[in-house]
Amino acid sequence: MIAELISVGTELLLGNILNSNAKYLSEQCSELGLSVYFQTVVGDNPNRLEEVLKQGIQRSDVIILTGGLGPTQDDITKEIVAKVVNKKLIKDHDTEKKLNLFFEKRKVKMSHNNLKQAYVPEGSMVLDNHNGTAPGLIVKDETGKKSIILLPGPPKELIPLFEEQVKPYIKEKSHYTIVSEVIKIVGLGESLVEEKVLALIEKQTNPTIAPYAKDGEVHLRITSRTKTLKEGKALIEPTKKEIYNLLGQHIYSSDGRTLEEVVVDLLIEKNYSLSVAESCSGGLLSGRLINCSGISSVYKEGIITYSNESKIKLGVKKETIDAYGSVSEETAKEMAQAIATRAQSDVALSITGIAGPNGGTKEKPVGLVYIACHIHGKTIVEKINALGSRDKIRNFSVISAINLLRKELLKKG
Amino acid sequence: MIAELISVGTELLLGNILNSNAKYLSEQCSELGLSVYFQTVVGDNPNRLEEVLKQGIQRSDVIILTGGLGPTQDDITKEIVAKVVNKKLIKDHDTEKKLNLFFEKRKVKMSHNNLKQAYVPEGSMVLDNHNGTAPGLIVKDETGKKSIILLPGPPKELIPLFEEQVKPYIKEKSHYTIVSEVIKIVGLGESLVEEKVLALIEKQTNPTIAPYAKDGEVHLRITSRTKTLKEGKALIEPTKKEIYNLLGQHIYSSDGRTLEEVVVDLLIEKNYSLSVAESCSGGLLSGRLINCSGISSVYKEGIITYSNESKIKLGVKKETIDAYGSVSEETAKEMAQAIATRAQSDVALSITGIAGPNGGTKEKPVGLVYIACHIHGKTIVEKINALGSRDKIRNFSVISAINLLRKELLKKG
């Protein structure tokens, strides 16, 4: 089956935003066994959108449109689809109810514009949007053979809609089963991971192995294409084993969990409580851990000691900062020890570093970060040299701290 | 003049990479006064590329193709362009010389394939590539009216080529200048913003006004099209004033700054120090503020009191939590007061709420969040009802807290 993506939005044509939806959907289609031959971006213009949509229906089996489903006058995707497939727009009562509920809950008066979102082309399959007001839609063309899938533009709405409702729909239409597993790796760069598994990548055709760099981590996706799910899973198994042999503990999960979920699960399993002290990361480490379910049973307290004054108030010795500086092995160590004492936690993490863009010196350049893990009376410190923007350095520090804790938790058996 | 972008590359269709070239080129074209009506991505496939190129020549004045200029068999862009505009490929002696020099310098033998890069459609303008072996090209269609611009795919080659050689070429051909400004709004939903400025949107043709929803905020972009930059700026001014009249303090910036940057700048200006106490947001509020430059001069301390125990340790009365619960106006108020006292800061913010997915009750549903701002001995509490995922609720709480502080800082004159 051939798929085609049409992104609707003037902000894309003006270059205001990157088309991350097209990347996501292409990746997903490829995994589902659909061939994407064209991606098109078109503005909020009725004639041009109509032209592009008609062409898509002619040459592809599945057309995925994103954007232009909102409540404003500029949002025309649904209207143009209805026109092209020759269907009326009718009010969908379920969607209307949900819209009313949405605004009631927020205690906001629903504007007249918003009701526009309750209208759908006759005969559409309505996809529930749990993260916004515009529902997704699946509409058939006049022949009934082509599927036109409409999704809202914001990735936070589009991704769950696609995962939960579009994927099963496409899977049912597709002739073979695609099984894929993602092995997640931390603490090794993309080229190093690729070097280690290169022989494996080169000899494989089914399953295939593809590496992706992702915010300080590397993911290896193993994908098989078979008739049944069982065959697909069996085909993946030996490759997965070989990758585990090659990369060992650098692999933190292959079951979909994030790095922080793996660590929080380890803490829960061992019944260890956790506290956190942060300087340059300024709350991002706690913020990330606290996004995990079950965290409330282990997380005791966090503190953001961005200034030297607040580090000293926490319990770091003034002499330590005077002698070694606030960005040093010694300060990181005392931060972790001090928050463990204050919170009376089994385990403590700390981060102190220079995230830039200013504040670097020759001896202590931007990107120098110390992370410490205090566990059962012992404190381990790691020094890292991160590269890139302030944002990137802070993010890499957070990942490294979570990974340090993971390694220590695994050591304790 | 109408421009159209065609990106050639299977890696884009597989979703392996983001199309950052399309964003860059769209932004550039818009600044140069070209209207980009279509962006297309197509694979390394001769028939499909030919189809897309022919369509582009029909409907646009300038067609910018990126990718597919390399030495391999997969690289077909130049060949297809030559075919479509009915020109022979001839050897360009300057390019051949440069190729020879390039490989000599690197002491590498030039492979036969590489010579392919010295061939150009007859009559082309050859653009020197200082960062790679494939030159850029400008080719005219058969009528001589349309320009087809071919650029190499790697951004490190494409960007300098565009800046140095394509920009001057387009400027010479273009007749007007595009100026645009973004007005950023917080505390009002997209449809409400549009309702308020609808009359304005409807009556405008130059400048135009377009609303965009963005992570809990709404942005209005005003864009003018004039002969000179000065005229463009003057044309935007009255519309901008009208929008300020309509939306008032809901507008937090029109100079590119983020919400947190505006608030941190206000704190610096007033020389107010800040501390933060967070429960459900778990560090994200501090994390966001600490991403601003200059924050170190105002941020004193942050604390993450996720558990009741840690809230009480901070200074919230046990009786308050027992009587009203940890998610209540009273607890939010005491959290802000307690951190202000602990940190001895002029201003304090606090957040406590139920981010879900679990923990909600009928009286206190998921999404119920209290935010408090303590400023000069007074504490203001706002109750919000956020909807969506845990992530979305936490993010909305953070934005609301920063906005509450902004409103209070503006009040103090």
CB B240 within 8 A of CB B254: yes
Per residue in B368-390, pLDDT tens? 999 999 998 899 999 999 988 88
Alpha carbon distance A161, A151 (integer Å): 8
pLDDT of amino acid B412 = 60
CB A211 within 8 A of CB A182: no
Select from B286, B349, B362 the residue whose CB has the most chain A CBs within 10 Å, as the one to mutate to test that interface: B286
Q: Closest chain B residue to A302 measured between Cα atoms?
A: B304
Shortest CA gap A30–chain B (Å)? 6
Alpha carbon distance A245, A199 (integer Å): 14
pLDDT of amino acid A347 = 97
- Joined together, the tokens standing for residue A240 give 């997965």
Closest CB to B40: pick one of A40, A74, A283. A40
Q: Which residue has the tokens 């935003």?
A: A17
Q: How many Cβ atoms from other residues are within 10 Å of residue A325's Cβ? A: 16
The interface predicted TM-score (ipTM) is 0.73
Give the rounded distance of the alpha carbon of A58 from its chain centre: 34
Average pLDDT over residues B320-347: 97
CB B9 within 8 A of CB B41: yes
Q: How many Cβ atoms from other residues are within 10 Å of residue A163's Cβ? A: 11
pLDDT of amino acid B33 = 80
pLDDT digits (tens), chain A, 413 positions: 899 999 999 889 988 889 999 999 999 998 888 889 999 999 989 999 999 999 999 999 999 999 999 888 889 999 999 999 999 999 999 999 988 988 888 777 887 788 899 999 999 999 999 888 899 999 999 999 999 999 999 999 999 999 999 999 998 887 777 788 899 999 987 778 888 888 888 788 889 887 777 778 888 989 888 888 899 999 999 999 999 999 999 999 999 899 999 999 999 999 999 999 999 999 999 999 999 988 999 999 999 999 999 999 999 999 999 999 999 999 999 999 999 999 999 999 999 999 988 889 999 999 999 999 999 889 999 999 988 888 889 999 999 999 999 999 999 65
Alpha carbon distance B197, B210 (integer Å): 10
Per residue in A249-283, pLDDT tens? 999 999 989 999 999 999 999 999 999 999 999 99
Strands B274-278 and B299-304: parallel
Q: Which stretch of A40-49, B102-111, B244-253 has the lowest confidence by average pLDDT?
A: B102-111
Which of residues 353 through 382 in chain A touch B, CB cutoff 8 A? 357-358
- Joined together, the tokens standing for residue B392 give 């979305």
Q: Cα–Cα distances in Å, from A348 out to A178, A337, A354, A407, B214? A: 42, 7, 21, 14, 36
Which of residues 263 through 302 in chain B touch A, CB cutoff 8 A? 276, 278, 280-287, 289-291, 293, 295-296, 299-302
A282 φψ region: left (φ > 0), alpha (ψ -120 to 50), beta (else): left
- DSSP symbol at B207: S
pLDDT of amino acid B125 = 96
Query: Does residue B29 have a pLDDT over 60?
Result: yes
Question: Is A39 within 8 Å of chain B by CB?
Answer: yes
Residue numbers in B near A294 (CB within 8 A): none
Q: Are the Cβ atoms of B23 and A11 closer than 8 angstroms?
A: no
pLDDT of amino acid B124 = 95
Query: Does residue B213 have a pLDDT over 90?
Result: no
Average pLDDT over residues B64-68: 96
Average pLDDT over residues B305-322: 96
Query: Does residue B263 have a pLDDT over 90?
Result: yes
pLDDT of amino acid B204 = 81
Average pLDDT over residues B30-56: 93
Question: What is the percentage of chain B residues whose pLDDT exceeds 70?
Answer: 100
Q: Are the Cβ atoms of A300 and B307 closer than 8 angstroms?
A: yes
Mention every residue, 6+ apart, whose C-beta is less than 8 A from residue A334: A315, A316, A317, A320
Alpha carbon distance B334, B318 (integer Å): 11
Query: Does residue B413 have a pLDDT over 70?
Result: no
- Joined together, the tokens standing for residue B68 give 């597919």
Strand partners, B350: B277, B372
Query: Does residue B149 have a pLDDT over 80?
Result: yes
DSSP-derived secondary structure for A35-99: EEEEEEEE-S-HHHHHHHHHHHHHH-SEEEEES--SSSTT--HHHHHHHHTT--EEE-HHHHHHH
- DSSP symbol at A135: P
pLDDT of amino acid A412 = 60
Q: Closest chain A residue to B282 measured between Cα atoms?
A: A287
Query: Does residue B352 have a pLDDT over 70?
Result: yes
Question: Is B338 within 8 Å of chain A by CB?
Answer: no
Closest CB to B301: pick one of A12, A20, A310. A310
Shortest CA gap B128–chain A (Å)? 26
SS3 A14: coil
Shortest CA gap B6–chain A (Å)? 9
Strands (E) in A114-172, as ranges, are: 119-121, 125-127, 136-140, 147-151
Residue numbers in A near B283 (CB within 8 A): 276, 278, 282-287, 290, 302, 304
Q: How many Cβ atoms from other residues are within 10 Å of residue A378's Cβ? A: 8
CB B223 within 8 A of CB B207: yes
Go through the domains of chain B in sequence order and give each one's CATH number. 2-173 (3.40.980.10), 177-253 (3.30.70.2860), 259-411 (3.90.950.20)
DSSP-derived secondary structure for A245-297: HHHGGGEEESSS--HHHHHHHHHHHHT--EEEEESTTTTHHHHHHTTSTTGGG
Residue numbers in A near B36 (CB within 8 A): 13-15
pLDDT of amino acid B225 = 84
Q: Closest chain A residue to B192 measured between Cα atoms?
A: A111
Per residue in A109-145, pLDDT tens? 887 788 899 999 999 999 999 888 899 999 999 999 9
Query: Does residue B110 have a pLDDT over 80?
Result: no
Q: Which residue has the tokens 């299977």?
A: B10
